[in-house]
Amino acid sequence: MSLVAVIGPVNARLQLAGARRVVVKVGSSSLTSLGGGLDPTRLDALVDALAKRRATGTQVVLVSSGAIAAGLAPLGLTRRPRDLATQQAAAAVGQLLLAQTYGASFGRHGQAIGQVLLTADDMIRRAHYRNAQRTLERLLGLDVLPVVNENDTVATDEIRVGDNDRLAALVAHIVGADGLVLLSDVDGLYDGDPRKPGATLLRDVDAPTDLGAITIARPGQGGLGTGGMATKITAAAMAAAAGIPVLLTAAEEVDAALDTSADGPTVGTAFRPSGRRMSARKFWLRHAADVHGRLELDAGAVAAVIDRHRSLLAPGIHGISGDFVAGDVVDLVGPDAVVVARGVVGFDATELPALIGRRSRDLPPEQRREVVHADDLVPLTSP
């Protein structure tokens, strides 16, 4: 099968074994149960494995779901609530319990932890993104293990999506991680529904883009989690495209997943890095920025932006849509209506209609500048 690489898998696993900074994400269903809330035995097992890897000199960041699920039992709820207000109430109770439990468990190893609560807004807004980066970096510098979660108490879209997998990929890039481990209630990626005979575990994936033909099964999760295999593959693709190796496996295999032996971890599905490291700004533009509009480009402008890495000028634009101001992020769309790039626009939406299609020398001096500068632009397609 073309999904299995010959050389790449070995590299990915060896990179994970030798990583000096690792982000580990664990899902709600791996920490909690419907009847009893947080499961201390499973949480302690996770903490023990993280502390063991930490003792080898590796810096560890934990992205942990579980706040809402942890709050169910104390509130007398038997299942995850559907209404937003009750979800937020459960998160308010559960987040405190989750932090206390992690603090006590890591305390057995003498490891200090710090809680970092993020929302999509902290990823979307450039200033917030940089603040999160500085905070996490300082915690690691102080020998503190950050425990990151969505701020479910005030979040809205985050709760509906429940995508801590994507959050983990963003955090991995923010902190410059050398590896990302996604833990859940499944032991890896299969080429079909793992509940049916004949499904095969894919041990290694050369490039996430090769997964188009795979049918992604979404087994039931007992009403605790809201993620699925699709979100994990998306997160793995994000991280791998930014040069970060990824391992997807079951939470019960966390010890093996964090193995530092010569052969690296032998469990789960490993995703080989399929791209180069990019700057925090480029990664933010590609994966986290909030898009406010679209600029429609002609073929020549697409070639300049994608093939020659040039700035976007007004003559190459033939249409705009959206309500944006200078400094907002917009999508750049080719003649076939496919989004080819994303960047920070230098003009308001109200200014551009009078400029598009006109040559720079025909414009007033104060308007003879790039619509999107090459330094503020990231291609979304390969040249």
CATH number for the domain spanning 138: value is: 3.40.1160.10
Q: Residue 359's domain spans which residues?
A: 290-379
DSSP 217-274: -----TTT----HHHHHHHHHHHHHTT--EEEEEGGGHHHHT--STT---SSEEE---
pLDDT band for 19, please (50, 70, 90 cuts): very high
- 2 falls within a domain: no
373 shares its domain with 301 = yes
324-338 average pLDDT score: 92
Give CA–CA dist 81/72, Å, rounded.
9
Give CA–CA dist 103/117, Å, rounded.
15
pLDDT in tens, 208-228: 666 655 545 444 444 444 447
140 shares its domain with 173 = yes
Domain boundary among 282, 303, 323: 282
pLDDT band for 359, please (50, 70, 90 cuts): confident
Model pLDDT, residue 65:
87
Asked if pLDDT for residue 144 goes beyond 60, the answer is: yes
Beta-carbon contacts of residue 228 (< 8 Å; ≥ 6 apart): 216, 218, 221
236 shares its domain with 294 = no
Query: 185 near 224, Cβ under 8 Å?
Result: no
Model pLDDT, residue 152:
67
Model pLDDT, residue 62:
98
14 shares its domain with 67 = yes
226 shares its domain with 294 = no
- 254 falls within a domain: yes
CA angle 34, 35, 36 (to 5 degrees): 100
Euclidean distance between the first and the last CA atom of the chain, given in angstroms as a whole number = 27
Domain boundary among 229, 256, 282: 282
Query: 32 near 69, Cβ under 8 Å?
Result: yes
- 132 falls within a domain: yes
Asked if pLDDT for residue 257 goes beyond 70, the answer is: yes
Asked if pLDDT for residue 367 goes beyond 80, the answer is: no
Neighbours of 135 (CB within 10 A): 16
Model pLDDT, residue 8:
39
Provide the domain count of the chain: 2
DSSP 72-122: HTTTT-SS--SSHHHHHHHHHHHHHHHHHHHHHHHHTTT--EEEEEE-HHH
124 residue type, one letter: I
- 1 falls within a domain: no
278 shares its domain with 310 = no
Give CA–CA dist 81/94, Å, rounded.
13
Task: Identify which of 286, 280, 259, 284 has the alpha carbon closest to the alpha carbon of residue 270.
Answer: 259
Model pLDDT, residue 36:
61
- 193 falls within a domain: yes
CATH number for the domain spanning 332: value is: 2.30.130.10
pLDDT in tens, 337-357: 999 999 999 999 999 998 887
Gyration radius (Cα) of the chain, Å: 22
Model pLDDT, residue 197:
84
177 shares its domain with 314 = no
- 3 falls within a domain: no
306 shares its domain with 183 = no
- 277 falls within a domain: yes
Task: Identify which of 137, 179, 175 has the alpha carbon closest to the alpha carbon of residue 271.
Answer: 179
- 26 falls within a domain: yes
262 shares its domain with 313 = no
Task: Identify which of 365, 195, 189, 173 has the alpha carbon closest to the alpha carbon of residue 271.
Answer: 189
277 shares its domain with 295 = no
Q: Is the dihedral of CA 203, 205, 208, 212 positive or negative?
A: negative
268 shares its domain with 294 = no
Asked if pLDDT for residue 34 goes beyond 60, the answer is: no
Give CA–CA dist 268/265, Å, rounded.
8
65-70 average pLDDT score: 87
363 shares its domain with 243 = no
**Alpha helices, H only, the chain:** 8-18, 40-54, 67-72, 84-107, 120-124, 126-141, 157-161, 164-174, 229-241, 254-257, 280-283, 299-306
Domain boundary among 228, 258, 282: 282
pTM of the model: 0.79
Q: What is the rounded average pLDDT for all residues in the chain? A: 84
